[in-house]
């Protein structure tokens, strides 16, 4: 079973529908015991970093997420959930992240002709092998919606997209901790293939 962490932030319905379509048995839960007993865990998130970080902490689920990461079971952060895997964010101040991956989250500084947020379809360029890319082809498109991106995180970056002269880390991973800045649940067949690969990782553990 894949546990989707419900801490009050995230588009959980579309994510669980996509997981089901990918053949995964998923459960949305705010129960730490269910999270700790899962084969793998997804940390979703939309909105502001500081608010989401507080909600994760005050929900009492932060320690469960950290314990899953330490256990070696697959953990996947999506969009804001990916950003929280890093050491800190500079969104409206400085906010501490979970520190599971090295790097920080910074705002876009773009030429005037580029809109913020970075929203819509963009292609992936692979820079490192990653098990979540096993069914994805170089140059395939995924769907983004974000105004901040991960920086100084070269050791974990597996695939990137280009936007306004910025190389955006689209998919990251180190050991059993993974993240997608894009939304796989909104990325059609490509996103489905990424979720299928994550499901298979969870089943292998």
Catalytic residues: 79, 183, 185
Q: CB of 181 within 8 A of CB of 79?
A: yes
Strand order in the sheet with 40-43: 26-29, 2-5, 40-43, 75-78, 177-180, 166-174, 157-163, 125-126
- Which strand (E) or helix (H) includes residue 89? strand 88-89
Pairwise CA distance, residues 83 & 105, whole Å: 6
Q: Which of 168, 164, 166 is nearest to 111 (CA)?
A: 164
Pairwise CA distance, residues 97 & 177, whole Å: 14
């Amino acid at each position: 079973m894949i546990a989707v962490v419900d801490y009050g932030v995230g588009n959980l319905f579309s994510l669980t529908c996509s997981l089901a379509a990918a053949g995964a048995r998923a459960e949305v839960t705010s129960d730490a015991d269910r999270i700790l007993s899962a084969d793998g865990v997804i940390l979703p998130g939309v909105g502001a970093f500081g608010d989401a970080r507080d909600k994760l902490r005050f929900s009492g689920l932060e320690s469960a997420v950290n314990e899953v990461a330490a256990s070696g079971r697959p953990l996947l952060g999506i969009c804001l959930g990916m950003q929280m895997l890093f050491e800190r964010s500079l969104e409206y101040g400085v906010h501490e992240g979970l520190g599971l991956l090295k790097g920080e989250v910074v705002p876009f500084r773009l030429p005037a002709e580029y809109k913020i947020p970075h929203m819509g379809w963009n292609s992936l360029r692979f820079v490192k092998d990653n098990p979540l890319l096993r069914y994805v082809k170089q140059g395939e498109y995924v769907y983004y919606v974000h105004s901040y991106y991960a920086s100084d995180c070269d050791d974990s970056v597996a695939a990137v997209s280009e936007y306004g002269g910025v190389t955006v880390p689209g998919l990251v991973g180190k050991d059993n901790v993974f993240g997608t800045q894009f939304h796989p649940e909104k990325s059609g067949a490509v996103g489905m293939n990424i979720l299928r690969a994550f499901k298979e990782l969870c089943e292998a553990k």
